[in-house]
Structure 1
Amino acid sequence: MLPILFLFLSLLLLPSSHAADFCVADLTGHLTPSGYECKEESSVTTDDFVFSGLGVPGNTSNIIKAAVTPAFVAQFPGVNGLGISAARLDLAPRGVIPLHTHPAASEFLVVTQGTICAGFISTANNVYYKTLKTGDSMLFPQGLLHFQVNGDGTKAMAIVSFSSPSPGLQITAFALFANNLPSALVETVTFLDDAEVKKLKKLLGGTG
């Protein structure tokens, strides 16, 4: 019994290591599906765990009249490996976050100002949407197409959190019309006519 007790005490008295407590991203490296490599703990500071960007309004002077301020791992190294991140959404009157998907994360939205019509489409093509008022929240399951629209005459804002430090983003309209995929192919896969495809490509910066 005594040898077991001494072994237990010796393990308790070993120098502790905090390497598993966190893995602050070394942004000089490369992002991989499992995240960034960790910074040396000796170079980690409190600032790695603090992000002030969510308190700054985004610039909504653009084609969608909306702005997303991310607190993903690239902006907030402390979330690396922790399975979380966040962002701020600013929507001017009639602003829209177009149909998009986050391949690597589910999303949790909280409206902090104004009203936002938000929804998602399931893989069975069922639509779930609702106009949310200040204080309301909504979930968007991982990988599903979803959107947020401010149809009101006043600005709206929301804070969103994600189940990944790097949730990924693909906006459907930009994926289709902001690239160099030949228009004939886009017309085939979208059932749109040539004039409409070329109009959208011109609007969103695509070619082909």
Structure 2
Amino acid sequence: MLAVFLYLVISAVLPGTLAYDPDMLQDICVASPSSGVKVNGFACKSEANITAADFTFEGLAKPGTINSSVGSLVTAASVEKIPGLNTLGVSMARIDYAPGGLNPPHTHPRATEIVFVLEGELDVGFITTGNKLISKTVKKGEVFVFPRGLVHFQKNNGNKAASVLAAFNSQLPGTQSIAITLFTATPAVPDDVLTKAFQVGKKEINKIKGNLAPKKP
């Protein structure tokens, strides 16, 4: 009976523990940049050295300079920018879009995302594992949710700049841009894998790789 009881408890608890960052076991655990230790998080800084600066970040206050080929800029406010977020299971980001700008299809493997439109109007959407597109046009003051791990995007189809604030239920949600991941990985994904997956020739694959390759200064 004990074994059955333990199995039922684990079965009930495990799905919840996998849905977001692990619960904290202390008041704070400010990430220590000097430590290379990472065990599903970062090592804690000595409490004697903790200051208010560990819990603040000014990078989301105003739009950033957009110079990407897709016309968008993501400014993350994760544990890497705010050490005090370590073990707290939350983070934010600001995304700015030029007219016509796109935040290309991508996923966050460790977090659900919710965006609040600060300015402008965006076409947003995500794709389920059943290959169904859930999409909508969102305007200033509206919110939209992208479920954890699902491919999603945002596109500014207006003639003026747009911006959103995004929140995540992870201190470090991670981002995998579909195109960048497949076409600029190191070592490279074999061309025969890409040509067969996308049903195109090697010439087209090389063209995409050239367009996505980091530009030399």
- Which residue of the partner structure matches residue 71 of structure 1? 77
Q: 1:110 aligns with which of 85, 97, 116?
A: 116
Q: Which residue of 2 aligns with 1:4?
A: none
The CA deviation string for residues 31-53 of structure 1, in whole angstroms up to 9 with x for no partner, is: 63521011111000011111111
Taking the aligned partners of 1:33 and 1:121, their CA distance within structure 2 comes to 32
Partner of 1:59: 65
Please, what TM-score do these two structures have when normalized by structure 2? 0.83
| 2:4 corresponding residue in structure 1 | none
**Matched residue, 1:167:** 173
TM-score by length of 1: 0.86
Residue 192 (structure 1) shift: 2.4
1:203 aligns with 2:211: yes
1:121 maps to 2:121: no
Identity %: 38
Q: Extract unaligned runs of 5+ from structure 2.
A: 1-24
The answer as to whether partners of 1:59 and 1:66 remain within 8 angstroms in 2 is: no
Does residue 190 (structure 1) correspond to residue 172 (structure 2)? The answer is: no
Is the contact made by 1:110 and 1:159 (CA closer than 8 Å) also made in structure 2?
yes
Aligned-partner Cα distance in 2 for 1:128–1:115: 17
- Show the counterpart of 1:83: 89
Structure 1 runs not aligned, ≥5 long? 1-18
Match of 2:38 among 32, 37, 43: 32
Q: Secondary structure at the match of 2:60?
A: helix
In 1, Cα distance between the equivalents of 2:206 and 2:76? 31
SS of residue matched to 1:118: strand
CA RMSD of aligned residues (A): 1.5
Alignment partner of 1:149 out of 141, 151, 155:
155
Equivalence for 1:10: none
Q: Residues 30 and 189 (structure 1 numbering): CA distance in 2 closer, same or farther, change over 3 Å? A: farther
